Chains A and B, each alone.
Chain A
Amino acid sequence: MTTKLDPLALSGAKAKGKRPWFLKDPDVERVMNITLALMQEVAVLRERMDTIERLMERDGKVTKASIEAFTPTKKEAEERGAWTQEYIARVLRIVQQDREAIERGEEASSEEVAEEFATTTP
């Protein structure tokens, strides 16, 4: 049987039900979603690179088939997982900093401190 299903057209289908938007400007959220998708694809590339490196070290050569068949050991998987954790933490740094800013509460800006340092009166 030949299917008429086009995976490219159907994979990204919208789920039934009006989509909620979260950020103040939906266009910012659209860009965020595109960035998120690219972030995913960089992780995919990196995992492939890592596989190629490990195969080269192990076998001295690499083929498409050996990439597909590669299964990391638990230790290797943890090294790769640790990289992904680092990577996500790096990309989402600004969110981490927003979180830390909540903890810190009101802080003086450098501009405000500059004013303070420029004051000569005791």
Chain B
Amino acid sequence: MADTVRPPKTAPKGKAAKKEAAPAPRAYDGPPDYRVVGRHGVFPETTHDEVARFNFLAHMNRHLAANIMPGVGEAFEARIKPAFEKKEKRSFKDRHEVRKALTQDPMWQWWSALRRGTMESRQQAGRWVTLRQADDLNSKVREMTESDSRLVLAPGFRQPRSTEAIDHHCMPGSYHTELVPGDVTGPANYDIGIFATTGGMLGRFNDGGGVAVAEWVKQNMPDFKPKRILDIGCGLGHNVVPLAQAYPDAEIVAVDAGAPMLRYGLARAKSLGVNNITFIQGDVSDLSQFEDNTFDWVQSTMFLHETSYKSMPKIFAETQRLLKPSGIVLHVEQPQYTADMPLFEQAMRDWDAFYNNEPFWTKMHEIDLDAWMEKAGFAKDALIHGGVAAVVDPEVFPEAAKDTKQEDYGRKAAWHVIGARKVA
């Protein structure tokens, strides 16, 4: 069979071709090499090949978001929506109908299968790195934290149902499991692998979100000088460390249900030279260990979606109780599903809820947060709304705010802020 491809007639030949420098085939728009990730004192050691594995996974996630996910939108417009409308003689009534229709389409099926598989591979890759050096990591963290008063664990603490029911974002063991006493391999895995999940969008210390929040507060509330800050659902502290750095004279309390996160978080913060955070184990829907009116600022970053319908009103009420008059609460989350958000986008944003073990994600994003804040006692005219995008070193990392090429629904490093100032 003849090969029908011939060089174009305009192709330079002979001497003319030699004079031209070989042009770069295309401008590079992929993630940076993993070796730009910042290494704090308890960061796991990684071999050449382990780094290469994270590099591949970061690229896969970018490829899925930039080159395959748009195909789902195209399939939706070209065949999924028309087929539904033809059959049902009406348009979709809600995002769940859209999602169910999507699940029948091969483009969605392959994108989803690849996305889930990539997430599972990312977990395996990170777990291998941390588990093979578990002894070293665990003892290093133990030495740095065991006699430190800034680590307050609650012996016999019972995990809330919202953390215990399912392993969030396919992370085996979730935030709380200890494979051996004093185990920190879970948080270490989270820490080293988030680069791959986000394609490098969160910056050197995965702190692009926290840095953005600190900058947003400084810009919007220049006179605000918080003395005491509470971070709820702090995880390993990558979002609260930037607040501690921005307000070095403030006393910061970071609460989470997972003891491994808190241990690792304290060691990590200390090794980064951050010494004004106390890590406390607790259930943030009942923070009765703290007095009323004792915090200037209560912060949650990408946390509410990992709670539940039952606990969220309690969390909002607790923040209201704990704030000093004129204090502020800020919750950073992916955008809510408002009436002006297309049902297709809502359905795509729900993917993590149903296929990446984030069960509350779907309901959480349909809540009228303003109404819930008011119900918790915040005044309507004292509510705060805003938006932030990860702040990273633009020389090295991709900037979410400028990235118009991909919309990795639910995972883009750009968030909404909902909050309130407590009336004095």
Q: Are A2 and B135 in contact (CB under 8 A)?
A: yes
Q: Which residue of chain B has the shortest Cβ distance to A73 in the bound complex?
A: B33
Q: A98-B71, A99-B68 are in contact. Are A68 and B52 (CB under 8 A)?
A: no
Main secondary structure of the interface of B (DSSP, over half): helix
Give Cα A95 to B67, complex, Å: 9
Smallest distance from the beta carbon of B118 to chain A beta carbons, Å? 7
Q: Is B288 an interface residue (CB 8 A)?
A: no
- Encode A71-86 as 1/0 by CB contact (under 8 A) with B: 1101001101110110
Contacts of B125 in A (CB 8 A): 40
Contacts of B79 in A (CB 8 A): 102
Q: Which residue of chain A has the shortest Cβ distance to B173 in the bound complex?
A: A13
Q: Are A77 and B113 in contact (CB under 8 A)?
A: no
Q: Are A43 and B134 in contact (CB under 8 A)?
A: no
Q: Are B109 and A40 in contact (CB under 8 A)?
A: no
Q: Are A22 and B116 in contact (CB under 8 A)?
A: yes
Q: Are A80 and B59 in contact (CB under 8 A)?
A: no
Contacts of A14 in B (CB 8 A): 172
Q: In A1-15, which residues have CB < 8 Å from any B CB?
A: 1-7, 10-15
- Encode B345-368 as 1/0 by CB contact (under 8 A) with A: 000000000110100000000000
Main secondary structure of the interface of A (DSSP, over half): helix
Give Cα A44 to B121, complex, Å: 13
Q: A15-B167, A84-B59 are in contact. Are A99 and B107 (CB under 8 A)?
A: yes
Q: Which residue of chain A has the shortest Cβ distance to B78 in the bound complex?
A: A102
Q: Is A56 an interface residue (CB 8 A)?
A: no
Contacts of B132 in A (CB 8 A): 7
Q: Is B171 an interface residue (CB 8 A)?
A: yes
Q: A85-B59, A95-B71 are in contact. Are A32 and B135 (CB under 8 A)?
A: no
Contacts of B26 in A (CB 8 A): 82
Smallest distance from the beta carbon of B95 to chain A beta carbons, Å? 17
Contacts of A15 in B (CB 8 A): 120, 123, 166-167, 170-172, 357
Q: Are B47 and A68 in contact (CB under 8 A)?
A: yes
Q: Are B56 and A84 in contact (CB under 8 A)?
A: yes
Contacts of A5 in B (CB 8 A): 131, 134, 179-180, 185
Contacts of A6 in B (CB 8 A): 131
Contacts of A59 in B (CB 8 A): none
Q: Is A17 an interface residue (CB 8 A)?
A: yes
Q: Are B139 and A1 in contact (CB under 8 A)?
A: yes
Q: Is A58 an interface residue (CB 8 A)?
A: no
Smallest distance from the beta carbon of B50 to chain A beta carbons, Å? 9
Q: Are A48 and B139 in contact (CB under 8 A)?
A: no
Contacts of A105 in B (CB 8 A): 78
Q: Are A22 and B128 in contact (CB under 8 A)?
A: no
Q: Are B174 and A16 in contact (CB under 8 A)?
A: yes
- Contacting B56 at CB < 8 Å: which of A17, A40, A82? A40
Q: Are A77 and B32 in contact (CB under 8 A)?
A: yes
Q: Are B56 and A16 in contact (CB under 8 A)?
A: no
Q: In B116-156, which residues have CB < 8 Å from any A CB?
A: 116-118, 120-121, 123-125, 127-128, 131-132, 134-135, 138-139
Q: Are B75 and A102 in contact (CB under 8 A)?
A: yes
Q: Are B55 and A43 in contact (CB under 8 A)?
A: yes
- Contacting A17 at CB < 8 Å: which of B123, B134, B166? B166
Smallest distance from the beta carbon of B330 to chain A beta carbons, Å? 30
Give Cα A3 to B183, complex, Å: 10
Q: A3-B135, A89-B63 are in contact. Are A17 and B167 (CB under 8 A)?
A: yes
Q: Are B117 and A33 in contact (CB under 8 A)?
A: yes
Q: Are B35 and A71 in contact (CB under 8 A)?
A: yes
Smallest distance from the beta carbon of B1 to chain A beta carbons, Å? 12
Q: Are A81 and B31 in contact (CB under 8 A)?
A: yes
Give Cα A32 to B103, complex, Å: 18
Q: In B23-75, which residues have CB < 8 Å from any A CB?
A: 25-26, 28, 30-33, 35, 47-49, 52-53, 55-57, 59-60, 63, 67-68, 70-71, 74-75
Q: Are A82 and B25 in contact (CB under 8 A)?
A: yes
Q: Is A92 an interface residue (CB 8 A)?
A: yes
B residues sitting closer than 8 Å to A (CB atoms) are: 25-26, 28, 30-33, 35, 47-49, 52-53, 55-57, 59-60, 63, 67-68, 70-71, 74-75, 78-79, 103, 106-114, 116-118, 120-121, 123-125, 127-128, 131-132, 134-135, 138-139, 165-167, 170-174, 179-180, 185, 354-355, 357, 396
18 A–B contacts, CB within 8 A, in A order: A1-B139, A5-B185, A11-B124, A22-B110, A23-B109, A33-B117, A39-B56, A40-B56, A40-B60, A43-B59, A48-B49, A51-B48, A68-B48, A78-B28, A82-B25, A82-B30, A98-B106, A99-B107
Q: For the complex of A and B, list the 8 residue pairs with the smallest distance between their C-beta atoms, beginning with the closest.
A: A99-B71, A7-B131, A77-B33, A47-B52, A15-B167, A43-B56, A17-B166, A11-B128
5 further A-B pairs in the complex, CB-CB below 8 A; given A15-B170, A40-B56: A15-B357, A67-B48, A82-B30, A98-B71, A102-B74
